Amino acid sequence: MKINRQDVETVALLSRLEMTPEELEAYAVQLNAILEYADILNKLDTKGVEPTAHVLPLKNVMRPDEVKPSLPRELALANAPEAEDGYFKVPKIMEG
């Protein structure tokens, strides 16, 4: 077993997902199958092999530091589930 129900619960929390007990069971089975399949990677000796996070040899793409028009506030807020006085509104994040 690569990943048990308990692990899935932890990963779900880290992923900010809420799961029913049935979902936790089902995902444990499915993620296990995928991770077991991924085990074949361990057949390869990759000692000393550079990782490729990105195929292009691009580094630090810069542009001149010039002020340009930005998205108007009303457009930036247009899709907000809740907004007030020009700000995004969220549930209380602190006690008191």
Partner 1 sequence: MELFKHTAHALHDMLQSKQISAVELTNAVFARTDAVEPKLRSYITETREQALAQAAAVDNKIARGEQIAPLAGIPGALKDNICTKGVKTTCASRILANFVPPYDATVVDKLAAQDAVLVGKTNCDEFAMGGSTENSGFFITRNPWDTDRVPGGSSGGSAAAVTAGQAIWALGSDTGGSIRQPAAYCGNVGLKPTYGRVSRYGLVAYASSLDQIGPFAKDVTDCALVLNAIAGHDAKDSTSINAAAPDYTKALVQDVKGLKIGLPKEYFAAGIQPEVAAAIQKAVDQLVAMGAEVREVSLPHTEYALPAYYLIAPAEASSNLARYDGVGFGHRASGSDIIDMYKKSRSEGFGPEVKRRVMLGTYALSSGYYDAYYLKALQVRTLVKQDFDKAFAEVDVLIAPTAPTTAFKIGELSDPLAMYLQDICTIPVNLAGLPGISIPCGFAQGLPVGMQIIGKPLAEATIIQAAYAFEQANDYHTRFAPLGEG
Binding site for partner 1 (CB under 8 A): 3, 7-8, 11-12, 14-19, 27, 30-31, 33-35, 37-38, 40-42, 44, 46, 49-56, 58, 61, 63, 71, 75-76, 78-82, 88, 90-93
C-alpha 28 chain-centroid distance:
19
C-alpha 26 chain-centroid distance:
21
Pick the closer one to partner 1 by CB: 25 or 30: 30
Task: Report the C-alpha gap between 22 and 13 in whole angstroms.
Answer: 16
Query: Coil, strand or helix: which one is 88?
Result: strand
CB of 44 to partner 1, least distance (A): 6
CB of 25 to partner 1, least distance (A): 13
Those residues with Cβ within 8 angstroms of residue 35's Cβ, 6 or more apart along the chain or in another chain:
2, 3
CB of 82 to partner 1, least distance (A): 7
CB of 10 to partner 1, least distance (A): 8
In one-letter notation, the amino acid at residue 56 is L
